[in-house]
Every structure is written in structure tokens, then in C-alpha cells.
């Protein structure tokens, strides 16, 4: 009573009552608006549009709080309840998840152009120079130009043949290192990452830097790629609530811009040194690597409607060093782990190599097409452990129908390749590692058989398939031809996956033992 008396003595009673009444009305308005929006989003609008089924979400945040870090397995569990196509509310965004070949076909083939765009995260916009690359560029003339540069020209068989000596040199260097560690445990995952990065950067600008400068550059790239992968994998409020993107509440974009600035400095350095070399040599053919190829192409296509710019060159280099390194290393690590869990598979690969290559010869890329069992091992590895288990998210550019349901314009689309590849209605004993299932010639990476799409399908299928195929198979063949492998302690590995870019939760640690008698093969 004393408190009330004091308040009434210091405030005008009439004004106070009026203010309280206004506040109550305002709060009531907010509550009613929130309930109305919630009812509209989750009950009225879905019924009117016939959206796919899905779990009920919370107001404003939708299903964000219920997401599991391992999205691919979480989505697979949801599909058991809601079917092969279901919806999620991710903040302000509507997302659908596809977990069957039939649904994947509708999106990636039947409605290919409708879903040809990407749902670009804020961090991707930063590290791709605003989408000036092939992975995240909007579908249109610019993307078609970049696709042509990559698939028809830069990553053609002719170009890949011309940089084989660079891949070979880096893989041989790793074999020499493993030989020096014979009989001792080696962090295979770490060595695979370092080698994949060295292979990639060597193909990018192998003729530009040498010696200590090259080692220093490689070390800096290793740090930057690791940091960028970590940043990109973190959930970002800006992606779920685009209206808040300008505030960068978590500072993720600021951190990414700082990394890109460092990347950009390295790219500028390499491009500058290459241009200087050209001036000294008086010819544009001073080196045979991707950077030189792109710079030549930039000059040749200068008069085209959509010319290749220095920004495009940087974007493509970023795609290769960030997108190609980790996926290559992870695939080889999974293959090694699976073979070590099934020694009979490892033995059969080694026997095939002995028959084709011989124990008195080194493996070359020219041998790969004669090694069908090794190729089957890679295909089975990609079935169980696709590099991008949900592919790169697609984005609908107009309202359409998939599986009988309305998919509104602007919907984010995930294709759960991980779930499709483990579907027991498609694959016999789907969780078992069995390369024999891929002896049938119908299995390839073209994306035409939607039971098996490790690299995606349609217009946005991975542009680096040819390079990945060569690099992974050659590296894997060298590892098992030159060495026997044993586990340091465990009798069998527990292969646990993690990440939006699939990798082993616990890195593979194993002991190499030389198989071939000629020490020159390990130099």
C-alpha cells in the first residue's frame, strides 16, 4: 500500500491508467499478430497451397531448434515419418528435403531449369566474390560461360593430361614421406589433406613458385582452407533470417571477409608473378598449369559478350582449392578405412595392381582404366560416403509442383543423396561395403541413374568429376600398391561420419609397410 500511495502521489492517475491501457492493447495486438502469422504459416497457407508434410515448428524459428548437427541422418529419420518429400521451416525460409530417386529426378531432371539456381549462404557470397564462380553463380549466361570454361576447356581430358606430371610429383613426394615413416603410426587423414592441397595448388600454379617460397605458400593455404571450412560449416542467423543479414549478428561474414582478404592477397601475388614471368619470357606460354590456362583464356575471350574477368579467375581458383581439396582427401580416407576393415578387399585391389602394373613398376594414370576392381572400390566408397551428402542446396526460381505438392518460388531444396544411397529398397545390404555391386557397367557418375548420384545430376552436376576421378584413383592406387597397411591398435575401425562436407569423425591412423623391393620407387 505504501508503494502504491507513493506512485499515485508522483504520477497523474489518469495518465497512468491511460498508459497502462495503451500498453495492454499494444501487447495484445502483438500476441494476436504473432498467433495469426503462426496460424497462417503453419495451418492456413499450407492447406491452401498443398505443401509437403513435415514436422510442426515453433513460431518465428520454425524447426531450427530441433535440427541435428548430422543433417543427412536426421533428414533420413524424418523421411521415415513424413515420406520421400517433406518440408521444414528454417527461420523465415521454407525448405524441402528429397529422399528418393523419383523425387530427385523431378527436381534435377524434369524441372531442371526451375531448380538450377543455388540457395547461397551469406558466407558463400563472400568467399566466391559475390558468386563469380561455378559452384554458386546464379543460373544464367555468366554461369554458362563459367561452366564452359571449366568442363569444356580447363578440366577437359587434354588439359588434365597436360598437368599430370604435377599431380604425379606431389603424390610421389607423399609416398617418399610415408616410406620414411615405415613401421610407425601415420595420421593418414592429415597426410591425405596435405597431399590433396599440394596436388591442387600445384596444378593451379605449379610453374610459378618453387623451393622455400612454395613450401611457405602451401603452409599458408593449409591454414586458410582449414579455417574457411570451419567458418562455412557454422550455422549463421543471416541465412535463416535474411532481414537480419545486414547486421551480421554472429560476425561470421566479418570473419569470412578477413579470410578472403588473405586468400585474395595470395591470388594477387600468384597472378602478379605470372604476369611478370610472361613479360620476361615474352610469351604467354611460360608455364603449363590452370592459372596460365585461365589467363590465356581471359585474353582470348576478351571480345565475348560475357568475358572472363580476373574476378572470375579468382573465383574458379577458390572453387578448386577449397572445394576440391577436402572432398578428395575425405574420399580417399574413407576408401582406405573401408578396405582396412575388409582386408580381403584390400588384398584383391593389390592383386589387380600386381596383374596390371607388376611389382617391378610404378602405377601411372594410364593404368587406371585397366583396374575395374579399384574403380568399383571408389564407386562403393562414394555410395556409402558421398562427399556432399545433401549436395549443394538448390533454389526454386518459380512456383512449381513436385511429387504432387506445391513448391513455392524461393524454396530451398536439399537432395539427401546419403539416404538414397542407403535405401534398402534400392540396395541389397546397403550398409555393407561391397565393391562387387558396381561391376555392372550401368553405374557411372553421369547422374542419369538417380539411384546413384554422388556428384549430383542435371545442369548443376559437379564440374570436377573428371579431375576427381583421376586424382582419387591414382592416389589410392599408389597407397595400396606401394604399402601394406595395418591399424596401430584397433582390430576394426568404427567409421563415424560428420560434417556438411562428409569426413571421418576420428582421423584414420595406420602403419605403412613397404611392399615393393625396389627402394627407388620410394624416392
The model's pLDDT over 125-138, given as tens digits with 9 standing for 90+, comes to 999 999 999 999 99
The C-alpha atoms of residue 407 and residue 98 are separated, in whole angstroms, by 12
pLDDT at 234 exceeding the cut of 90:
no
Q: Which is nearest to 271 in space by CA: 310, 234, 304? A: 310
pTM: 0.89
Tens of pLDDT, residues 402-437:
999 999 999 999 999 999 999 999 999 999 999 999
Distance between CA atoms of residues 404 and 132, nearest Å: 35
For range 201-225, the mean pLDDT: 75
Tens of pLDDT, residue by residue over 444-470, are 999 999 999 999 999 999 999 999 999
Nearest to 44 by CA among 34, 52, 36: 36
Give yes or no for a contact between 430 and 123, defined as CB atoms under 8 angstroms apart.
no
430-to-48, 166, 331, 385, 421 alpha-carbon distances in Å: 39, 37, 18, 12, 8
Task: Note whether 207 and 288 are within 8 A (CB).
Answer: yes
Please state the length of the chain: 523
Pairing of strands 93-98, 412-415: parallel
**Looking at the predicted structure, is the pLDDT value of residue 207 above 60?**
no
> Which of the residue ranges 23-32, 208-217, 270-279, 303-312 would you say has the lowest mean pLDDT?
23-32
- The three-point CA angle 322-473-188 to 5° equals 65
**Is 414:367 a contact under the CB 8 Å cutoff?**
no
What mean pLDDT value characterizes the chain? 88
Q: Select the more confidently predicted residue: 207 or 442.
A: 442
Cα distances from 176 to residues 62, 482, 521, in angstroms, run: 53, 10, 8
- The pLDDT of residue 396: 98
Instruction: Indicate if the pLDDT at residue 387 is higher than 60.
Output: yes
Q: Is pLDDT of 481 > 80?
A: yes
Tell whether the model's pLDDT for residue 284 goes beyond 90: no
**Crossing angle of the two packed helices 2-10 and 13-39, in degrees rounded to 10:** 100
User: Rounded distance, CA 176 to CA 522, Å?
Assistant: 5
Q: What per-residue confidence (pLDDT) applies to 496?
A: 86
Given a cut of 90, is residue 160 above it in pLDDT? yes
Residue 475 or 222, more confident: 475
Angle separating helix axes 324-341 and 188-205, nearest 10 degrees? 140
Least confident of 48-62, 80-94, 358-372: 48-62
Three-class SS state of 424: coil
Please, where are the H alpha helices in 40-163? 45-49, 71-82, 101-105, 122-127, 141-147, 157-162
Res 491: pLDDT: 72
CB 407 within 8 A of CB 63: no
Hey, is 410 helix, strand or coil? coil
Rounded to an integer, what distance in angstroms lies between the CA atom of residue 390 and that of residue 321?
Answer: 21
3-state secondary structure of 483: strand
Q: In 3-state terms, what secondary structure has residue 137? A: coil
Q: How far apart are CA 88 and CA 96, in angstroms?
A: 6
Rounded to an integer, the average pLDDT of 281-304 is 74
> Has residue 14 got a pLDDT over 50?
no
Residue 208 has pLDDT above 70, yes or no: no
Which residues lie below 8 Å from residue 333, measured CB to CB, with a gap of 6+? 188, 189, 192, 503, 504, 507, 508
- Bridge partners of 221? none
Q: Which sign does the torsion angle of CA 147, 127, 118, 425 carry?
A: positive
In whole angstroms, what is the distance from residue 240 CA to residue 390 CA?
18
Low-confidence winner among 248-257, 293-302, 399-408 (lowest mean pLDDT):
293-302
Report the binding-site residues for heme.
462
Annotated binding site: 462
Question: What pLDDT, on the 0 to 100 scale, is given for residue 225?
Answer: 85
H, E, C per residue of 289-302: CHHHHHHHHHHHCC
388 Cβ neighbours under 8 A, 6+ residues apart: 327, 417, 456, 500, 501, 502
Decide: 380 and 433 in contact? Cβ < 8 Å: yes
Over residues 19-63, the pLDDT tens digits come to 555 566 555 555 555 555 555 555 555 556 799 999 999 999 999
Tens of pLDDT, residue by residue over 97-109, are 999 999 999 999 9
Angle between helix axes 343-356 and 324-341 (nearest 10 degrees) is: 110
- Using one digit for the tens of pLDDT, what is the confidence trace for 65-83? 999 999 999 999 999 999 9
- Give the 3-state secondary structure of residue 511: strand
More confident of the two residues 64 and 304: 64
Tell me, what's the pLDDT at 39?
56
Amino acid at each position: 500500500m505504501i508503494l502504491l500511495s507513493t506512485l499515485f502521489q508522483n504520477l497523474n492517475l489518469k495518465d497512468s491508467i491511460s498508459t497502462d491501457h495503451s500498453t495492454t492493447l499494444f501487447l495484445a495486438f502483438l500476441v494476436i499478430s504473432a498467433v495469426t502469422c503462426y496460424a497462417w504459416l503453419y495451418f492456413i497457407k499450407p492447406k491452401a497451397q498443398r505443401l509437403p508434410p513435415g514436422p510442426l515448428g515453433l513460431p518465428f524459428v520454425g524447426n531450427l531448434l530441433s535440427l541435428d548437427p548430422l543433417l543427412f541422418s536426421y533428414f533420413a529419420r524424418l523421411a521415415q515419418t513424413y515420406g520421400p518429400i517433406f518440408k521444414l521451416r528454417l527461420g523465415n525460409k521454407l525448405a524441402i528435403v528429397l529422399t528418393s530417386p523419383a523425387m530427385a529426378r523431378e527436381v534435377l531432371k524434369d524441372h531442371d531449369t526451375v531448380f538450377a539456381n543455388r540457395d547461397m549462404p551469406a558466407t558463400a557470397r563472400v568467399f566466391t566474390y559475390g558468386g563469380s564462380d561455378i559452384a554458386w553463380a546464379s543460373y544464367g549466361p555468366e554461369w554458362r560461360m563459367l561452366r564452359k570454361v571449366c568442363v569444356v576447356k580447363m578440366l577437359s581430358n587434354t588439359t588434365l593430361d597436360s598437368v599430370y606430371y604435377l599431380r604425379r610429383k606431389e603424390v610421389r613426394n607423399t609416398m617418399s614421406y610415408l616410406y620414411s615413416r615405415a613401421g610407425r603410426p601415420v595420421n593418414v587423414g592429415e597426410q591425405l589433406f596435405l597431399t590433396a592441397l599440394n596436388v591442387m595448388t600445384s596444378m593451379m600454379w605449379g610453374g610459378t613458385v618453387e623451393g622455400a617460397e612454395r613450401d611457405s605458400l602451401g603452409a599458408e593455404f593449409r591454414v586458410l582452407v582449414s579455417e574457411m571450412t570451419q567458418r562455412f560449416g557454422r550455422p549463421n542467423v543471416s541465412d535463416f533470417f535474411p532481414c537480419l543479414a545486414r547486421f551480421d549478428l554472429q560476425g561470421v561474414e566479418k570473419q569470412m571477409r578477413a579470410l578472403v582478404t588473405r586468400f585474395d592477397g595470395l591470388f594477387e601475388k600468384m597472378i602478379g608473378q605470372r604476369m611478370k614471368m610472361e613479360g620476361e619470357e615474352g610469351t604467354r606460354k611460360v608455364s603449363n598449369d590452370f592459372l596460365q590456362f585461365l589467363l590465356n583464356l581471359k585474353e582470348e575471350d576478351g571480345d565475348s559478350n560475357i568475358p572472363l574477368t580476373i574476378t572470375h579467375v579468382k573465383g574458379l581458383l577458390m572453387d578448386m582449392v577449397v572445394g576440391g581439396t577436402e572432398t578428395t582427401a575425405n574420399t580417399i580416407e574413407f576408401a582406405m578405412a573401408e578396405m582396412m576393415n575388409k582386408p580381403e578387399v584390400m588384398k584383391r585391389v593389390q592383386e589387380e595392381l600386381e596383374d596390371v602394373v607388376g611389382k617391378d613398376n610404378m602405377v601411372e594414370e594410364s593404368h587406371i582404366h585397366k583396374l575395374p576392381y579399384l574403380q568399383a572400390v571408389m564407386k562403393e566408397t562414394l555410395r556409402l560416403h558421398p562427399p556432399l551428402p545433401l549436395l549443394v542446396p538448390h533454389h526454386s526460381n518459380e512456383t512449381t509442383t513436385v511429387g504432387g505438392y506445391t513448391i513455392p518460388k524461393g524454396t530451398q531444396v536439399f537432395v539427401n543423396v546419403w539416404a538414397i544411397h542407403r535405401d534398402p529398397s534400392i540396395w541389397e545390404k546397403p550398409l555393407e561395403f561391397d565393391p562387387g555391386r558396381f561391376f555392372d557397367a550401368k553405374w557411372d557418375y553421369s547422374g542419369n541413374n538417380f539411384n546413384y548420384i554422388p556428384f549430383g545430376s542435371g545442369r548443376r552436376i559437379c564440374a570436377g568429376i573428371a579431375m576427381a576421378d583421376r586424382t582419387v584413383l591414382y592416389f589410392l592406387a599408389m597407397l595400396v600398391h606401394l604399402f601394406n597397411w595395418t591399424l596401430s591398435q584397433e582390430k576394426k575401425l568404427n567409421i563415424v561420419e560428420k560434417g556438411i562436407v562428409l569426413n571421418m569423425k576420428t582421423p584414420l591412423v595406420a602403419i605403412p609397410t613397404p611392399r615393393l623391393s625396389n627402394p627407388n620407387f620410394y624416392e
